[in-house]
């Protein structure tokens, strides 16, 4: 989750530099984009959680 926060912070920091402080979308579009971003963030977190579980299983099965 920390990596996600760092990526999120850096992405929007760079995005704000390019935007010159102007918002070029409607509030509805912004909410839609935020929802899409949140959904994909949840998907990424699900993959990370699954990989963690697989690693834990592998570590319990590994010998030698």
Q: How far is CA 63 from CA 22, 33, 59, in A?
A: 58, 47, 8
Q: Where are the alpha helices (DSSP H) in 23-62?
A: 27-61
**C-beta separation of 4 from 41 below 8 A:** yes
* pLDDT at position 1 over 90: no
Give the domain ranges of the chain: 25-64
* pLDDT at position 27 over 70: yes
* Mean pLDDT, all residues of the chain: 84
Extract the tokens encoding 6: 């760092």
**C-beta separation of 49 from 9 below 8 A:** no
Cut 0.75: pTM above it: no
What's the rounded mean pLDDT across residues 36-59? 96
């Amino acid at each position: 989750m920390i990596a996600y926060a760092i990526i999120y912070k850096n992405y929007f920091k760079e995005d704000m530099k390019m935007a010159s402080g102007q918002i070029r979308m409607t509030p509805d579009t912004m909410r839609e984009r935020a929802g899409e971003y949140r959904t994909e963030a949840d998907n990424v977190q699900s993959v990370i959680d699954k990989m963690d579980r697989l690693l834990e299983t592998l570590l319990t099965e590994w010998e030698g």
